[in-house]
Amino acid sequence: MTDILVVAESDADVLSSATLEAITAARSLEGTIHVLLFGSSVDADEAAARVGAFGAEELHVAEHELLGDYGPEAWGQALALAIDDMEPDVVVACGTSKGNEVLAQAAARLDLPFVANCIDLPGELADSDDVVLTRVQWGGSLLEEASLSAETRIVSISHHAVEAESIDGPAATTDTFVPELHDTVARSLCVGREMAEAGVTLSTAPIVFGGGRGVGSADAFAPLEELASLMGGRVGCSRAVTNNGWRPHRDQVGQTGTRIAPELYVASGISGAIQHWVGAMASKKILAINTDPEANMVVKSDYFVQGDLHKVLPAVIDEIKSRRG
């Protein structure tokens, strides 16, 4: 039976949903899913229930004073020691920057290869030590085949490539793993954090109202702000907008901005250049509002309104308000 070790990701004391994506992806391999959680700041019982619901059978909590908050070297060394100890066949994390950093740290320490950002985990990964994997490169605009040959296969699954899906499994059994970490790993530890924004963020918003060059000015984003507030969403934008200084870079969607995965992306006055598209393509549905029916964003959209966004958006706001009374 294959043993799959999924690396849990947490931020401060919250287990990240990226972990659940990695467990969901790992279910495509036939085997026992173990999860390694770093530090004791996350409530272990809660984590065991959460990862169990997604199909994990065992939760191993790595405890050490240097694992209190994120530290790439501390997490990487703890993972390398866990791999030595547990001898899993496959090690999986979600391909977030943190997930990839930790896997790279562990792989380098163990002198093992690592394939990042795979689009799926093929069944052969479980039972063959020689497998071909497809992974995304260049922000998603290139698919590459990578051949992996190793007794312990270390891979990450591209963020948002799979949707986390619960199977309502029972809570995972829990045990503690105490790694002997070297003092030198303490040189890169997270020692404090400041939330740039609270509540719904661009990457977690269920609905994003994106505006592009077609919006025309900073002030003309007011209807998008109003829609976001009416619908509980966030405003995003293209790089043409940030280049013009109409919106801050934190609102930018794309290769050099944020990857979004909302239920609905409303893209107004955005042409859909490849660098923008790679940040938007994980959206479940896309509604494009554009004067050009041949714009790339329109061609790729699920719904399209052809027209001037300065007329369409106020009309949508009026309609929502009148329906709500």
Ligand X SMILES: Cc1cc2nc3c(=O)[nH]c(=O)nc-3n(C[C@H](O)[C@H](O)[C@H](O)COP(=O)(O)OP(=O)(O)OC[C@H]3O[C@@H](n4cnc5c(N)ncnc54)[C@H](O)[C@@H]3O)c2cc1C
The number of residues that bind ligand X (CB under 6 A) is 28
Distance CA 283, CA 231 (A): 16
Going by their DSSP bridges, the two strands 14-15 and 10-11 should be labelled as antiparallel
Residue from 164, 308, 314, 317 that binds ligand X (CB under 6 A)?
308
Scan for tokens 């801050």, then name that residue: 248
Residue from 47, 131, 157, 240 that binds ligand X (CB under 6 A)?
240
Binding of residue 283 to ligand X (CB under 6 A): no
Binding window for ligand X (CB under 6 A); candidates: 62-70, 147-155, 224-232, 266-274: 266-274
Q: Which is nearer to ligand X, 179 or 269 (CB)?
A: 269
Distance CA 156, CA 103 (A): 8
CA dihedral 304→305→307→308, nearest 10 degrees, is -90
Tokens of 183: 């003092």
Distance CA 209, CA 236 (A): 6
- Give the start-end residues of each E strand in the chain: 2-7, 10-11, 14-15, 31-38, 58-62, 90-94, 114-118, 130-137, 142-149, 153-157, 173-177, 207-211, 234-237, 264-268, 285-290, 303-306
| CB count in 10 Å sphere of residue 197 | 9
Residue from 275, 283, 287, 313 that binds ligand X (CB under 6 A)?
275
Task: Lay out the site mask for ligand X across 39-78 (x = CB under 6 A, - = otherwise).
Answer: ----------------------------------------
Binding of residue 238 to ligand X (CB under 6 A): yes
Residue from 201, 220, 256, 317 that binds ligand X (CB under 6 A)?
256
Task: Lay out the site mask for ligand X across 176-215 (x = CB under 6 A, - = otherwise).
Answer: ------------------------------------xxx-
Residue from 96, 255, 283, 301 that binds ligand X (CB under 6 A)?
255
Q: Which is nearer to ligand X, 27 or 239 (CB)?
A: 239
Find how far residue 19's CA is from the centre of its chain: 9
Q: Which is nearer to ligand X, 229 or 291 (CB)?
A: 291
Instruction: Say which residues have a Cβ less than 8 Å from residue 279's Cβ, sequence separation at least 6.
Output: 139, 253, 254, 255, 257, 258, 259, 260
Binding of residue 295 to ligand X (CB under 6 A): yes
Residue from 239, 259, 266, 313 that binds ligand X (CB under 6 A)?
239
The closest of 55, 47, 66 to 191, measured between CA atoms, is 66
Q: Which is nearer to ligand X, 41 or 296 (CB)?
A: 296
Answer positive or negative: Cα dihedral of 202, 208, 210, 215: negative
Q: Which is nearer to ligand X, 70 or 277 (CB)?
A: 277
The b/e string for 100-125 (b: 16+ C-beta within 10 A; e otherwise) is bbbbbbbbebbebebbbbbbebeeeb
Interacting positions 159-178 with ligand X (CB under 6 A): none
Residue from 291, 302, 318, 320 that binds ligand X (CB under 6 A)?
291
Residue from 60, 64, 153, 276 that binds ligand X (CB under 6 A)?
276
Is residue 210 within 8 Å of 236, Cβ to Cβ? yes
- Shortest distance (Å) from residue 270 CB to ligand X: 4
Binding window for ligand X (CB under 6 A); candidates: 27-35, 37-45, 173-181, 274-282: 274-282
Residue from 185, 270, 282, 286 that binds ligand X (CB under 6 A)?
270
Binding of residue 271 to ligand X (CB under 6 A): yes
Residues in the site for ligand X, rule: CB under 6 A?
212-214, 238-241, 252-257, 269-271, 273, 275-276, 279, 289-292, 295, 308-310
